[in-house]
Amino acid sequence: MAKAFAIKILAALGVLAALWLGDAPTSWWIAGLIALSAISLIAWGVFDVNSSLWAPTLWHVPGVNAVSLTFDDGPDPEFTPRVLEILARKKVTATFFVVGERARANQALLREIDHQGHMIGNHSFSHAWNINFALHAGLTREINGCNAIIEAAIGKRPQFYRAPFGFKNPALGDVLAKQAMTCVGWQVRGFDAVRSNANTIARRLVLKAKAGGILLLHDGSGLQGTQDRSATLEALPVIIDGLRARGFEFKRLDELAR
């Protein structure tokens, strides 16, 4: 928050100084350039998923010969159990960034994810796009609301948060610090919420994943794209085998970050 405030004040002072001290039309150009730079910097902090401008963001861990699978938008009664089945068969533990509203409606599934040794993270309460533009209080409600449901179901407080759509709000750093939580981005994503071709999803992840990378897939349907996660289910074993063939281990997010 303090950072955003400082950027706005400095930009406003710069614009005023340029207009006051310079001669038109050069001073207009300089003032415009200062305003545009400030807006670009703020927008970069909001829209770049791995920018740490507003909140320190974990998206890879250099020097580790492992990758970490993460699944967003669940828990989903149809697809999450099938993802769990594949992970159990392949002996991989992962992290599930759940949406509070969905977690509340599927608490048994939440317990099952935890029971199988996976980690549960916070993906906001409502997953509404506009929470990334909410003020401090609104964002706190979204994050705490989801935490409360997870804690009630499994008795553990989430340690990681992933913003819906990956956008970040200037208040996010303050809100997460108060909850002792870390913001998580991704090194590579499968675009499996919008693509229905399992080969394309698998190829992308297997080729583009780097050592220490956090990988993003979706077990929940319909929030950011299609209703059908069949392509994710079909791609998942191929992704696991392909990355193991490249010599990578799979680590849960907390183990990767350790």
Q: Output 72 or 192, the one with its CB closest to Zn ion.
A: 72
**Known catalytic residue: 241?**
no
Q: How far is the CB of 164 from Zn ion (least distance, A)?
A: 5
Indicate the SS3 state at residue 12: helix
Segment interacting with Zn ion, rule: CB under 5 A, options 20-28, 158-166, 170-178, 200-208: 158-166
| Options 6-14, 109-117, 164-172, 235-243: segment touching Zn ion (CB under 5 A) | 164-172
Point out which span in 14-22, 71-79, 110-118, 235-243 binds Zn ion (CB under 5 A): 71-79
Rule CB under 5 A: choose which of 34, 38, 51, 72 binds Zn ion: 72
Could you give the CA distance from residue 146 to residue 75 in angstroms, rounded to a whole number?
A: 12
Q: Which residue has the tokens 């050069």?
A: 26
What is the closest distance, in whole angstroms, from the C-beta atom of residue 139 to Zn ion in the complex? 16
Q: Choose one: 40-48, 69-77, 80-88, 206-214; the region binding Zn ion (CB under 5 A).
A: 69-77
Q: Minimal CA–CA distance to 82: which of 223, 195, 222, 236?
A: 236
Q: Please, what is the Cα angle at 68 between 192 and 65, to 5 degrees?
A: 130
**Number of chain positions touching Zn ion (CB under 5 A):** 3
Cis ω on the peptide bond leading into residue 25 (within 30° of 0)? yes
d(CA 110, CA 99): 11
Burial class of 173 by CB neighbour count within 10 A (0 to 12, 13 to 18, 19+): buried
Residues 185-224 interacting with Zn ion (rule: CB under 5 A) = none
> Would you tell me the crossing angle of helices 26-47 and 2-21 to the nearest 10 degrees?
170
Q: Based on CB atoms, which residue is closest to Zn ion, 31 or 121?
A: 121
Token duo for residue 41: 């910097």
Of the pair 167, 248, the CB lying nearest Zn ion is at 167
- Select the residue interacting with Zn ion from 73, 76, 142, 219 (CB under 5 A): 73
Catalytic residue among 60, 72, 118, 123: 72
Q: Which member of 118, 123, 127, 218 is catalytic? A: 218
Nearer Cβ to Zn ion, position 164 or 173? 164
Please check whether residue 186 is in contact with residue 49, taking contact to mean a CB–CB distance below 8 angstroms. Answer: yes
Of 216, 108, 84, the residue nearest 163 (C-alpha) = 216
> Does the annotation mark 192 as catalytic?
no
Q: How far apart are CA 58 and CA 144, in angstroms?
A: 20
HSE-up of residue 180 (Cα within 13 Å, Cβ side) = 2
Q: Which is nearer to Zn ion, 60 or 162 (CB)?
A: 162
Any contact of residue 142 with Zn ion (CB under 5 A)? Answer: no
**CB of 220: closest distance to Zn ion in angstroms?**
7
Residues involved in catalysis: 72, 218
| Residue ranges binding Zn ion (CB under 5 A) | 72-73, 164
